[in-house]
Amino acid sequence: MFSGIVESLGIVTEIRSEPPGCLLVVSDPVVAPYTKVADSVSVNGCCLTVVEADSDVIAFQAGPETLARTNLGELVKGSQVNLERALKVDNRLGGHFVSGHIDGVGTLIERKDEGEWSTFRFEIPRELSLQMASKGSITIDGVSLTIVDSETEQFSVALIPFTLGVTTLGKLQVGGKVNLETDILAKYVQRLVESVDEIKAKN
C-alpha cells in the first residue's frame, strides 16, 4: 500500500530483456539506499518487487502483462520514473490509500500552463470515468491528486509548482501516456451499485 506522495525521481539506467518480460534497472540516491530485495516500490504508480538492490541502484522484473497495460513498456534508458516505498503502519498518510494496481492508461490531451501552475486534461477509457468524481482522488503515475472536472471519458487536475518540479508530470506533454489508479472506495461503491442492479434484475 502507498500514499501517492512521490519520494524521488529515479532514472532508468538499463532495460534488460528477460523474455517474456524485462529487468528494469533504476538509479536513485534517495530510495535505493533504504531498499532491499523483496521490498515493494511504486514505479510510476505500479507496485513492483525489488529483485536487486545496492546503495544507489534498484532493479525490478516487469512481466508482459505489466508492460502491455501500463506506460512502463514505453520506458527507455534515461527515462525518469516516480518512486515511492510502501507505507509503514505508523506513518502519516499525506495523500490517499493507493494499492499500486493500475486500472488503465490515460492520454494527456490538453495542458494549460499559467506561470508555474498547470491544468492537465486527460482522455480515459469510459469504464474508468464511472469511478471518478469532481473533488475525488486519482493517482496519476503514482502521484496522488484531486480531480477538478470529471466527465465521460475525460477528467482534469490542477498541478502546483512543487508537484510539477518533483515528479515526472512536470515534463509531460500532450500525447503522453500515464498510469491511472482510481480511488479504491469508488471501486467498492460501483460494485455495490452493480450488485443492487443485478438483484433487481433477477427479481
Q: What is the CATH number of the domain that holds 112?
A: 2.40.30.20
Task: Tell me if 60 is assigned to some domain.
Answer: yes
Q: Give the pLDDT band of residue 193 (cuts 50, 70, 90).
A: confident
Please tell me whether residues 77 and 115 are part of one structural domain: no
- Separation of alpha carbons 48 and 176, rounded Å: 22
Please tell me whether residues 13 and 66 are part of one structural domain: yes
Residue 170 contacts residue 103 (beta carbons within 8 Å):
no
Q: Give the pLDDT band of residue 157 (cuts 50, 70, 90).
A: very high
Q: What percent of the chain is modeled with pLDDT above 90?
A: 85
pTM of the model: 0.93
Find the mean pLDDT for residues 173-187. 94
- Separation of alpha carbons 85 and 41, rounded Å: 5
Q: Give the pLDDT band of residue 123 (cuts 50, 70, 90).
A: very high
Domain containing 147 equals 104-192
In this prediction, residue 76 carries a pLDDT of 97
Q: Tell which of 41, 56, 85 closes a domain.
A: 85
For 35-160, strand residue ranges (E) read 40-43, 46-53, 57-62, 80-85, 104-114, 117-123, 137-140, 143-151, 154-159
In this prediction, residue 163 carries a pLDDT of 98
Q: How many helices (H) and strands (E) does the chain have?
A: 4, 12
Question: Which of residues 91 and 73 earns the better pLDDT score?
Answer: 73
Please tell me whether residues 73 and 117 are part of one structural domain: no
Q: Tell which of 50, 85, 120 closes a domain.
A: 85
- Separation of alpha carbons 86 and 3, rounded Å: 8
Task: Tell me if 79 is assigned to some domain.
Answer: yes
In this prediction, residue 186 carries a pLDDT of 83
Residue 99 has pLDDT above 80, yes or no: yes
Task: Tell me if 93 is assigned to some domain.
Answer: no
98 secondary structure, DSSP code: B
Please tell me whether residues 157 and 123 are part of one structural domain: yes
Total structural domains within the chain: 2
Q: Give the pLDDT band of residue 201 (cuts 50, 70, 90).
A: confident
- As a whole number, the mean pLDDT across the chain is 95
C-alpha cell of residue 170: 512536470
